[in-house]
Structure 1
């Protein structure tokens, strides 16, 4: 059994490396956000965390597209496009620690080494391959998954991705994938958390039990594909792009010599459902074929649609991530994407809901902080007075209103429960569960301000109420730093929380005894507008 416990000291999370044959879209951003929040949360826990992303720059699609656009070489083409992925990451504060390009020499060396290890174990042989090949998917499909294109009867498509396929016959190298079928089935049965979510685990297991794995063609003749890594000792063949691309995860930890490191043992691959087969079947077999250990787990997410339909330029419903981020703010989009998605289902982007979300941030959370920072109150004094006290006891002694005491008790219990839920939910990449719990806490805190009317109360009562409400704002801002890093920073700056007191250990009532020194002064900027 794989040990799936959360290591507190080291973690490594990876996006798929993205194909730079066009500019990045919302799906690229989604994968990156899932990883970024996990990475930032681990750092908030003071763990050593690595986060790898990058671009998959070899293959027939790149070769064809570079020729179509009349680039001198495919390298010139990918050199033009890969910065777009870095631009998107920088724009959305995606805090990757490593960006892999498969054209880099260190990666090419690891691809060659992995091939040699599999070959040494007699798992690679030369043979003739006949079948239906999809250039878009960079893979062969069996006859059973090929149909005539209903829109172009003279062409054929596959039933999995609906992309065009063409029949080919050529001499390639093959990997003995069929040899690993029983081992894969046994491994999935004994390690049900290796593939997440559970539905994808069942889907893959059922596939393996009902479909006979065939040996896999892992090279292409250089006469058809010349853009890639050459097969060791055979310049007439180019290594299959997925064998090449998957090896990036080993490159990202420093190469094959580091596969026994904690970074590898605690690696979580985050991928889209369209590349599930390559990561969940091919990748474990390649690693076993080289006698290398597997990563910790594979997280598989679904896709995004727009206004209930698949995104299409002809329909006009394509969401351009940078343009929408400029319009509403990157943190608003980060929150919206994570709150309105789950791993199991396709998610629907509705711009009107994004606009409503921004109004919530301004009207609910931002306004709550503004009210507590009003000139009638004194946050610093309230913090000094109550930071180390038992709030329940203080409320019993100071506040005589039973209903208000009950409301505060319920609020503080919800806040305490949130932190517990967050630890498990982030570990499972279930961010929507968290974000749906935060708004009721904010609304409840606003309601307590309205009910209690602290501006009408004596100083001691006023300070206790303000301390309670601003503590909720402070703790929520700390907890939400992985999700909305810019807005959280602005909220914490507005109430004068020191940068050294923004880690997870300070996300407790009364844990910071010295903030708010200048919060109630006139002329301070609004944290969000």
Structure 2
């Protein structure tokens, strides 16, 4: 059963440096989900954006020679939008936390939580990490040989601070959070299951401490002022998390918004607690509905090693498209990743992916539609579809005309096709994109094998059998290209263009074998080019 989703979000990204592979991965996961929902006819929103306040931005701006932090983030935000454009990330809203509507929402959320009695003022002391924008307890701080202190969660440096802050009563929500994370199966609020268990176990064993949600303005000037107290600035996470509502509606109207709370947040594991503890607590305090679920993905390594500028192994997603093309990179990343594990990026995987598109899928279409082949896809579609409307009809007709020849191969192809179709929705719901893409390759491999076995180019083969072979091969390719549109939006349409599938016949309605009787009329024309070129530009990495 499909999980209702009308609103899909990436985390908003911190523009203190150029975007990297992790940013792209979150965006690809969300984009495929959004395109699939739209493909099925669902009115869905996809929101992304940038988190532009905080001490890290304030310090990075000064370090880079900007007196005004807004000018600094203005210089970086276009890079994030360019990344989305390069990879066809089809968001509906790009939210910036410096927008006035967002600032108004943050202040309103603060006022509601304060009115409900969940915000109070007190003295705060503890170990603060600028990199993580959070305090850590003494138990998670260790002193290094060089005299510096690190926290054991992220290994980032911490320094001791004592100051007056406003606090949010996070401790009041321990039991409600335990109940929230105890839900399993289709009702689970966090996916994958391993992350849900991790969060739940920690909630059951570690009492939550109230959360400092402001900083003195003299230390943090680049932030939203606390309502009615300009000496204090709103803590970055209380600010940032509110973006998911700001992208849709004023906070006072969100309870009647058609997209909220049918929301799926897609985030990296490093910000899991902020989204799975803080965010639902803020919403519960304000008596607002919670989003539907949070999907947590792991990180990317580079050839088995954590990416680091000092090691020179950081993957720049903006340059990958120059060699391989954006849809090849999209497919390669999603085929070679799982949300529940750290993933290992290899250039060889992307090169192999392009090679497979050229030699397996592209070559299959070229063999069946090449003008020199003497095949005729238009005739094959017209003749075969006179009596055949689905795979059962096809197998029965084949067995009746050509008993005991390749029937087992045919049946195996259709079993694989039904498996893909039956599991597609479920696998999309649970972000198992790699299984979908590998199943598509299995079908392409099976069709290539069928072509090799049946040899439609054999001169003694009657046209009627030749047509059935060509129709089978190209109709499976047609269905696979339709299913591939959320993953490779440009290349899938080039594949469909190559066999003359009309734009109106590329919807989910036509992702069924034998459902389109009108394509292929000019597919064997000598002027048609191959859908994907073998040669690519030189690129050093």
TM-score category, normalised to shorter length: over 0.9
**In structure 2, which of residues 161, 174, 177 is the aligned counterpart of residue 181 of structure 1?**
174
Q: How does 1:464-483 map to 2 (within 5 A)?
A: 464-483=468-487
Q: Which residue of 2 aligns with 1:154?
A: 147
Structure 1 residues without counterparts, runs of 5 or longer: none
Whole-angstrom CA distance in 1 between matches of 2:405 and 2:204 = 59
Q: Which residue of 2 aligns with 1:381?
A: 379
Q: Which residue of 2 aligns with 1:135?
A: 130
Please give the TM-score of this superposition, normalised by the length of structure 2. 0.95
Aligned length: 521
**In structure 2, which of residues 433, 436, 441 is the aligned counterpart of residue 434 of structure 1?**
436
Does 1:391 find its partner at 2:394? Answer: yes
Q: CA deviation at 1:321?
A: 0.3
Does 1:123 find its partner at 2:118? Answer: yes
- The runs of 4+ residues in structure 1 deviating greater than 4 Å are none
Is 411-420 or 357-366 further displaced after alignment? 411-420
Whole-angstrom CA distance in 2 between matches of 1:485 and 1:399 = 38
For the Cα contact (< 8 Å) 1:250–1:259, is it kept in 2? no
Whole-angstrom CA distance in 1 between matches of 2:524 and 2:74 = 51
Secondary structure, aligned partner of 2:397: helix
Q: What is the root-mean-square deviation of aligned Cα atoms in Å?
A: 1.2
Whole-angstrom CA distance in 1 between matches of 2:402 and 2:368 = 19
Whole-angstrom CA distance in 2 between matches of 1:403 and 1:255 = 66
Q: Which residue of 2 aligns with 1:333?
A: 329
Secondary structure, aligned partner of 1:265: coil
Q: CA deviation at 1:368?
A: 0.5
Q: Which residue of 1 aligns with 2:422?
A: 420
Q: CA deviation at 1:156?
A: 0.6
Q: Which residue of 1 aligns with 2:523?
A: 519
Q: Deviations over 1:378-425 (max 9, x none)?
A: 11111112236121222122323x241211121022112112222111
Q: Which residue of 1 aligns with 2:298?
A: 302
Whole-angstrom CA distance in 2 between matches of 1:189 and 1:318 = 38
Whole-angstrom CA distance in 1 between matches of 2:396 and 2:519 = 23
Q: Which residue of 2 aligns with 1:372?
A: 368
Q: Deviations over 1:298-350 (max 9, x none)?
A: 00000000011001122221111011121111111111111111111100011
Whole-angstrom CA distance in 1 between matches of 2:179 and 2:510 = 44
Q: Deviations over 1:45-70 (max 9, x none)?
A: 11111100000000000001001111
Q: CA deviation at 1:252?
A: 1.5
Whole-angstrom CA distance in 1 between matches of 2:344 and 2:366 = 33
Q: Which residue of 1 aligns with 2:465?
A: 461
For the Cα contact (< 8 Å) 2:249–2:257, is it kept in 1? no
Secondary structure, aligned partner of 1:154: coil
Q: CA deviation at 1:265?
A: 2.2
For the Cα contact (< 8 Å) 1:260–1:293, is it kept in 2? no
Q: Which residue of 1 aligns with 2:537?
A: none
Q: How does 1:17-36 map to 2 (within 5 A)?
A: 17-36=12-31
Secondary structure, aligned partner of 2:318: helix
Structure 2 residues without counterparts, runs of 5 or longer: 534-541
Is 479-488 or 352-361 further displaced after alignment? 352-361
Secondary structure, aligned partner of 1:131: strand
Q: CA deviation at 1:282?
A: 0.2
Does 1:112 find its partner at 2:126? Answer: no
Whole-angstrom CA distance in 2 between matches of 1:399 and 1:135 = 73
Q: CA deviation at 1:106?
A: 0.5
Q: Which residue of 1 aligns with 2:203?
A: 208
Secondary structure, aligned partner of 1:514: coil
